[in-house]
Chain A
Amino acid sequence: MEPRQITVIQASAVLVSTIIGVGVLALPLFAVRAADSGGPLVTFLAVLLAFVGLALITWLGIRFPDQTIIRYSEVIIGRWLAWIGSMLIILFFAVLTSLTAREFGEVVVTSVLKSTPVEVTVIVMLLLAAISTRHGITTFAHIHTFYVPFLLIPVLVIVALSLKNAEAINLLPIWGNEQGGMLKGTLTVAALFQGAFILTAVIPAMKHPEKAMKASFWGMVIAGGLYIVIVAATISVFGSEEIKQLLWPTLELAKATTLPANILERLDAAFLAVWVTAVFTTLFSSYFFTIYAMSHLFRLREHKLFSYFILPFVFVMAMLPQNIIQMYEIIESVGRIGLIITTGYPGLLLIVSILRKKRGNRVADKKVDQID
């Protein structure tokens, strides 16, 4: 058992690097499909919706500072109902892991390693995640904290440099031309923030769980802010109609961006290097959460025994989509269904816990996962 060591900054870092991930490449396309030039507005609404979900999880975590959602759901709604909810959460995160790995694989074999089988790229990434998840939650937080600057700084630099090709008129009207698809688009973009659910595992390991809301707020401000900036920059450079013809507009933005004095005439290689790190941290979180939740569900003291166990299952799930088109259809559907699990279910738990006046114990000097 580890002592409670995770600080507010580390918890925010976990959120930021988990949220910023594979979805960054297709994000402007999702936003533009929903509302044309209103893409940044759709992304902003999605950030607000995602923050509501994150706030519910955080509030629950503060009420039960010594337990993960797997354990306190049993206290709130009873063992068997909670078991169904927990199984759905585990299954959802396993699917999320597989889709992240597949999306990574498709991008790599399409734009970088054109002669490499997609299966190999997927296996390499999953193996990397499986090995990394064998350590405790404190190491998990350290790894995320280490990578955050490597994610944020290059992306912000690329976005800032791309603005010299920007036309502000491409962002008008800011509410878009047709508002019909806004709700669906908001849900699709909000689904990209579902990795934030990892906070349910992080709060019980925080030094001061009562400060978790601060971590949630800053995590969402940084990750959400970056997403809005990326969408706004991409639309202002290409315009909404052009983006609809691109599969990965953010990658095209990096291709169209040059360093001053033409030192580098395209930045896609640099961007992809950063993006691989972003995918790793996202995959790492969803993989870790899947096995961590499994160990809590089966009341085991170690989660590492599941790290290699789920590897082949996740791989097979990753290979099920027939092509990129079908993969993105599945990602959008799974994402929207996932909102019920990651926002609706914690909301229900919170209401029932308030009505039944259920609360966790004070943490004092308890260690992580200490069972009374």
Chain B
Amino acid sequence: MLGGYTIGYLYYAIALFIASGLLILNIDVKNFQKSKQKKEWKVSRMIGWFNVIAGILTLMMNWVL
């Protein structure tokens, strides 16, 4: 890679998965619940948890493997 120091992108990806999931759960899920947008609330809850779980699973797999 030209220029720059790097530690590999896996840990950045894990942090992004968990942080994005938490942001969705804390901002979007709450807002959709307040505005009574049922479908959007369901989908945002699902994708929020998906990202959090994907991040945790990747972290655990990285430790085990």
A residues lining the B interface (CB < 8 Å): 106, 109-110, 113-120, 123, 298-302, 304-306, 308-309, 311-312, 315-316, 319, 322-324
Contact = CB atoms under 8 A, between A and B. Distances in A.
B13 A312 contact: yes
Contacts of A301: 37, 39-40
Interface string B9-50: 100110011001001100010001000010110011001101
Contact of A305 (B3, B44, B54): B44
B5 interface: yes
Given A115-B4, A116-B4, A300-B39, A305 B47 contact: yes
Ranked nearest first, the 9 interchain pairs of A and B with the lowest CB-CB distance are: A109-B4, A312-B16, A308-B20, A319-B9, A305-B44, A109-B3, A110-B3, A312-B17, A309-B47
B23 A308 contact: yes
27 contacts: A109-B3, A110-B3, A115-B5, A117-B6, A117-B7, A118-B4, A123-B16, A300-B40, A301-B37, A302-B37, A302-B40, A305-B47, A306-B47, A308-B23, A308-B24, A308-B51, A309-B20, A309-B50, A309-B51, A311-B20, A312-B17, A315-B12, A315-B13, A316-B13, A323-B1, A323-B2, A324-B2
A312 B20 CA distance: 8
A283 to B, nearest CB: 16
Contacts of A118: 1, 3-4, 6
Contacts of B55: 312
Contact of B9 (A106, A113, A302, A315): A315
B12 A309 contact: no
Nearest to B16: A312
A118 to B, nearest CB: 5
Contacts of B4: 109-110, 113-118
A300 B47 CA distance: 14
A109 to B, nearest CB: 4
A302 B43 CA distance: 11
Contact of B12 (A114, A119, A300, A324): A119
Interface of B: 1-7, 9, 12-13, 16-17, 20, 23-24, 28, 32, 37, 39-40, 43-44, 47-48, 50-51, 54-55
A120 to B, nearest CB: 8
Nearest to A114: B3
Contact of A119 (B6, B23, B32, B43): B6
Nearest to A314: B16
A119 B24 contact: no
Nearest to B54: A312
Chain A CB within 10 Å — which of B6, B20, B37 has the most?
A: B20
B2 A305 contact: no
Contacts of A304: 28
A305 B47 CA distance: 9
Nearest to A299: B39
A117 B5 contact: yes
A240 to B, nearest CB: 24
A315 B1 CA distance: 17
A120 B37 CA distance: 35
Given A106-B2, A300-B43, A305 B28 contact: yes
A301 B12 CA distance: 31
Contacts of B47: 305-306, 309
A307 to B, nearest CB: 9
Contacts of A312: 13, 16-17, 20, 51, 54-55
Chain B CB within 10 Å — which of A109, A312, A322 has the most?
A: A312
Nearest to B50: A309
Contacts of A306: 47
